[in-house]
């Protein structure tokens, strides 16, 4: 039986939501990951240091006793973000980074930034104080095809921002295209990228396999096979710019299986197994630790986790769903399927 031991990984992109859902999903992430970047797209969004500190307490209260897990908080940028509150929140260790949601690009982004020049003063303050900018990298316009959103964001928002603020560190979250991979390589050192399990496992055919598949729907939407292959090569390359970020995005089943279904794939329970499948298929298990446990902390200027974890190549059936009391199930990525790796 093959065994694999590596430093405990971190997840550089998670959605925990709040309330009853938070209480069910935090333990899933805390079981496998040492730290996680927590996205701020709640209702209402986490826009101030005080809100982030209170949210962090609710997350910590949901961590099972005995688990060692640290949530890293982010500030939801709006047209009205208070740069002083953001910078002082960062200095006090409340904020690790700030998140740019272009308005209407994704789940709960209606309060997002309407135009990048609205936050130029805030970006200048972040550059000076060393606060990383995390981006949902899509330009959303009626006349822009949904499959071209990432490339247009790179051309019209990302590249001009990198140029205007040369000291600003940026993460392009959940990259999905070869354009994403290329721009990250072109700005090595100051531009990083997270890659989700679903964008490594599936191409856009998965959305329509035998019918409409709402559990395969996330944003950015799955792309063509040629993009998936470039993403797999990037993730498994060992290059420091690419790191693990699941984008685990829980939505109740009835809100996904609907006439207008929510975007997001819940992967917290099976993400490590999903990534391990990809690395095994690419003959790159020796580079898994870089992607999962080393590149992310190095980018954020944090030490890697001391603790190690061991996985064994022992098949098991992944759980179908997590049940939220009184609310219903949240369907898991790979739910009900056989996965090759188990935690030892
Ligand atoms: C995320 C969510 O549900 O919050 N959904 C998704 O499809 N990825 C938002 C996001 O990360 O864009
Ligand atoms: Zn996003
Ligand atoms: Zn996300």
Tens-digit pLDDT profile for residues 116-169? 999 999 999 999 999 999 999 999 999 999 999 999 999 999 999 999 999 999
| Tokens matching residue 46 | 């986490």
Q: Give residue 71's region: left, alpha or beta (phi > 0; psi -120 to 50).
A: beta
Length of the chain: 344
Rounded average pLDDT over 62-77: 97
Q: Is residue 336 part of a domain?
A: no
Q: Is the CB of 230 under 6 A from ligand 1?
A: no
Q: Is residue 319 part of a domain?
A: no
Rounded average pLDDT over 214-240: 98
Q: Is the CB of 249 under 6 A from ligand 1?
A: yes
Q: How far apart are CA 264 and CA 251, in angstroms?
A: 7
Measured by CA distance, the residue closest to atom 5 of ligand 1 is 264
Q: Is residue 52 part of a domain?
A: yes
Residue of 15, 137, 195, 331 best suited for mutating to test ligand 1, as the one with most atoms within 8 Å of CB: 15
Radius of gyration (C-alpha) of the chain in whole angstroms: 19
Note the pLDDT of residue 129.
98
Q: How far apart are CA 27 and CA 20, in angstroms?
A: 12
Residue 145 has, within 13 A of its CA and on its CB side, a CA count of 4
Q: What is the largest CA-CA distance in the chain?
A: 56
Sign for the pseudo-dihedral over CA of 283, 287, 293, 299? negative
Closest CA to 204 of 221, 219, 218: 221
* CATH code of residue 138: 3.20.20.140
In ligand 1, which atom is closest to the CA atom of 219? Answer: 7
Note the pLDDT of residue 236.
98
- Angle, in degrees to the nearest 10, between helices 178-186 and 225-235: 40
| Tokens matching residue 179 | 């354009």
269 pLDDT more than 90: yes
Range of the domain at 44: 13-267
Note the pLDDT of residue 1.
84
| Ligand number nearest to the C-alpha of 14 | 3
| Tokens matching residue 325 | 């009391």
Supply the pTM of this predicted model: 0.98
Q: Is residue 20 part of a domain?
A: yes
Q: Is residue 5 part of a domain?
A: no
Q: Is residue 58 part of a domain?
A: yes
Q: Is residue 332 part of a domain?
A: no
Q: Is residue 279 part of a domain?
A: no
Note the pLDDT of residue 307.
97
Residue 3 pairs in a beta bridge with: 312
Closest CA to 185 of 198, 174, 196, 172: 172
Q: 194 and 171 in contact (C-beta within 8 Å)?
A: yes
Measured by CA distance, the residue closest to atom 12 of ligand 1 is 106
Q: Mean pLDDT score of the chain, rounded to an integer?
A: 98
312 pLDDT more than 90: yes
| Tokens matching residue 129 | 């104080």
Could you give the dihedral angle defined by the CA atoms of residues 68, 300, 245 and 83, in that order, rounded to the nearest 10 degrees? 100
Note the pLDDT of residue 161.
98
Q: How far apart are CA 294 and CA 317, in angstroms?
A: 29
How far does residue 247's CA lie from ligand 3's centre (Å)? 4
| Ligand number nearest to the C-alpha of 107 | 1
E-only strand ranges, the chain? 3-7, 11-14, 35-38, 70-76, 95-100, 133-136, 170-173, 191-195, 242-244, 308-317, 321-324, 328-331, 338-343
> How many domains does the chain divide into?
1
How far does residue 178's CA lie from ligand 2's centre (Å)? 17
């Amino acid at each position: 039986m093959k065994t694999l031991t590596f430093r405990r990984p971190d997840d550089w992109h998670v959605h925990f939501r709040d309330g009853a859902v938070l209480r069910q999903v935090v333990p899933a992430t805390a079981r496998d990951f040492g730290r996680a970047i927590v996205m701020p797209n709640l209702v209402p969004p986490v826009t101030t240091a005080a809100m982030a500190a209170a949210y962090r307490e609710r997350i910590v209260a949901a961590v099972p006793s005995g688990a060692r897990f640290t949530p890293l908080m982010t500030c939801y940028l709006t047209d009205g973000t208070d740069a002083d509150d953001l910078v002082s929140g960062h200095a006090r260790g409340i904020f690790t980074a700030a998140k740019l949601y272009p308005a209407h690009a994704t789940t709960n982004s209606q309060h997002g930034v309407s135009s990048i020049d609205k936050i130029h003063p805030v970006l200048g303050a972040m550059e000076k104080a060393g606060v990383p900018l995390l981006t949902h990298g899509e330009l959303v316009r009626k006349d822009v095809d949904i499959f071209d959103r990432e490339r247009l964001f790179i051309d019209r928002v990302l590249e001009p921002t990198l140029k205007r603020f040369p000291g600003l560190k940026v993460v392009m979250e959940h990259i999905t295209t070869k354009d994403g991979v290329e721009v990250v390589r072109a700005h090595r050192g100051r531009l990083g990228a997270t890659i989700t399990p679903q964008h490594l496992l599936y191409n856009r055919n998965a959305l329509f396999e035998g019918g409409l598949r709402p559990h395969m729907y996330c944003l950015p939407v799955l792309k063509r096979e040629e993009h998936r292959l470039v993403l797999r090569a990037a993730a498994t390359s060992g290059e420091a710019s690419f790191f693990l970020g699941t984008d685990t995005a829980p939505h109740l089943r009835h809100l996904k299986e609907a006439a207008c279904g929510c975007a997001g794939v819940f992967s917290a329970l099976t993400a490590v197994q999903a990534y391990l499948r990809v690395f095994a298929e690419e003959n790159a298990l020796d580079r898994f630790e870089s992607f999962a446990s080393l590149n992310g902390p190095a980018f954020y200027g944090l030490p890697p986790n001391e603790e190690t974890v061991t996985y064994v190549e022992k098949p098991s059936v992944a759980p179908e769903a997590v049940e939220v009391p009184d609310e219903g199930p949240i369907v898991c990525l790979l739910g009900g399927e056989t996965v090759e790796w188990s935690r030892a």
